[in-house]
Amino acid sequence: MEKFVIEGGRRLSGEIHVSGSKNATLPILAATLLTDGVCEIRNVPKLRDTLTMCKLLRSLGKTVDISGNKVTISGAVNNHEADYKLVSTMRGSFCVLGPLLGKLSKAKVSMPGGCVIGVRPIDLHMKGIMALGVKADFDAGYVIAHAARLKGAQMYLGGTFGSSVLATANVMMAATLAHGETIIECAACEPEIEDLGNFLSAMGAKIQGHGTPRIVINGVKKLNGTSYKMASDRIEAGTFLLMAAATKSDILVKDAHYNHLLALVDKLQSIGAEVKRVGSHDIRVKCKKTLKPANIVTHPHPGFPTDLQAQYMALMAITPGVSIINDRVFPDRFMHIAELNRMGAQIRRDTGVAIVEGVKQLYGAPVMASDLRASAALVMAGLVAKGKTEIYRIYHLDRGYENLDVKLNNIGAKVSREKE
Ligand code: EPU
């Protein structure tokens, strides 16, 4: 296993480039199961999670060729069973359920289970596919689903915590080859869903409204192969904006979609950071003065994203004053508190929220990464801390940030990847 060793206290400056979006790539790779044609997907981030999805596609019969950041997928799916060993390592793999059902009208997919960020049920996925006429059962940890022919239907996909990104993705993919019209009400509006809708359209699907709470899909008989370039990763971009604010730096984040990050940009501006759109694809963030504390509540898009909650907490940890952080998407996503406190932060949990009392200085310490975004928060804390921070179990980071150490070193950080 590897660890990051960070020497903190350095200002960052220059340009940092955002990779392709992990959470848009995963369902798009899964969507290639819907066609026997060749799909070429460019700007795919080389991450543990995208490689796991490629392995899963191979196990389902596809030929997957990876060349740099381009993935070419060909051949027909010849197996409808997504194995526990692959699905259990990454929840995103559950989104092969929809395309397997769309293409083969049957699927056996391991249930993903919970994870450190919360319980993570699959009731909305099941509700959606069953509305399309699928019969589904649970057996020995697997979802076993089949239908004579999927039939379009209107459905409401909102749950206790709002819409679901991957449930929306599963139903969209299944519905592209179903008979008739499907209407998803309370669909997830995340940019990743918009991207998936664009990809499915490029494959020949008839789909409208992706990116809004009402998606309408008219089933077609067949989908074709296509070539597609992945949009950049809004969460990686947001992480860089927060890192610049925390280290009082001036950086240009290249290939960052301003419109995908409005909730974060608005919050950063309101607390005193300068954040500006540059041209159509870049964002400049400049932060010289001490910021003000401010509360956040996470919500589905376009609200403040849960995937930036931990990193925002790291910023508030060094911002004088008190701020309250409430995660309404994953109410238990607070594993990073204990590790940030090991570095001198003053954060406590109180009935579903985190209360952060900003301190003047964090101090380097050995800390343990618990999940992807918590790890990014620890890297941020390491960048501002006095002294040396060692972050163990960085395989969590490698699931979602491409070459993070190299990218940060290019703008003046001192991060080394070492054997544990
Ligand atoms: N939910 C249900 N029932 C369901 C599905 C979800 O109640 O059947 C609840 C969840 O428990 C949660 C809320 O709905 O409270 C939203 O979860 P969602 O289904 O939208 O999450 P997801 O689709 O499983 C994706 C991302 C996550 C990101 C969330 C929220 C991928 C591969 N994962 O997960 O990304 O946090 O949407 O935006 O796209 C990450 O990248 O670090 C990450 C965890």
Amino acid of residue 3: K
Catalytic residue among 39, 95, 115, 186: 115
Q: How far is 206 from 301, CA to CA, in rounded Å?
A: 24
Q: Which atom of ligand 1 lies nearest, measured to the CA of 119?
A: 11
Sheet harboring 81-82: ordered strands across?
A: 81-82, 106-110, 142-146, 135-139
Alpha carbon of 164 to ligand 1 centroid (Å): 6
For the segment 300-329, what is each residue's pLDDT rounded down to a tens digit? 999 999 999 999 999 999 999 999 999 999
Gyration radius of the chain's alpha carbons: 21
245 CA from centroid of ligand 1 (Å): 27
The CA–CA distances, whole Å, from 185 to 31, 131, 153, 157, 390 equal: 21, 12, 11, 6, 46
Q: Whose CA is nearest to atom 43 of ligand 1?
A: 307
Going residue by residue through the chain, which has 420 residues, state the pLDDT in tens, using 9 for 90 and above: 999 999 999 999 999 999 999 999 999 999 999 999 999 999 999 999 999 999 999 999 999 999 999 999 999 999 999 999 888 888 899 999 999 999 999 999 998 866 788 888 999 999 999 999 999 999 999 999 999 999 999 999 999 999 999 999 999 999 999 999 999 999 999 999 999 999 999 999 999 999 999 999 999 999 999 999 999 999 999 999 999 999 999 999 999 999 999 999 999 999 999 999 999 999 999 998 899 999 999 999 999 999 999 999 999 999 999 999 999 999 999 999 999 999 999 999 998 899 999 999 999 999 999 999 999 999 999 999 999 999 999 999 999 999 999 999 999 999 999 999
Atom of ligand 1 nearest to the CA of 95: 32
Residue 283, token pair as written in the block? 């964002």
Pocket of ligand 1 (CB under 6 A): 23, 26, 91-92, 117-118, 120-125, 159-161, 164-167, 188, 306-307, 329-330, 372-373, 400
Instruction: Pick the atom of ligand 1 nearest to 301's CA.
Output: 38
User: Measured from the CA of 331, which atom of ligand 1 is nearest?
Assistant: 15
Alpha helices in 262-371 (DSSP H): 262-270, 309-317, 336-342
**Which of 90, 120, 123 should be mutated for ligand 1, with most atoms under 8 A from CB?**
120
* Residue minimizing CA distance to atom 37 of ligand 1: 165
DSSP 192-256: HHHHHHHHHHHTT-EEE-BTBSEEEEE--S-----EEEPPB-HHHHHHHHHHHHHTT-EEEEET-
Give, for ligand 1, the residue of 52, 125, 165 to mutate: max count of ligand atoms closer than 8 Å to Cβ. Answer: 165
Among 159, 142, 57, 152, CA closest to 102: 152
Q: Choose one of 26, 138, 166 to mutate for the ligand 1 pocket test, by most ligand atoms within 8 angstroms of C-beta.
A: 166
> Quick one: which of 104, 128, 125, 79 has its CA closest to 177?
104
Q: What is the DSSP letter of 118?
A: B
Query: Which pTM does this prediction carry?
Result: 0.98
Residue 39 designated active-site: no
Task: Tell me the per-residue pLDDT of 33-70, one tens digit each, with 9 for 90 and over.
Answer: 999 999 999 999 999 999 999 999 999 999 999 999 99
Ligand 1: centre distance to CA 60 (Å) = 24
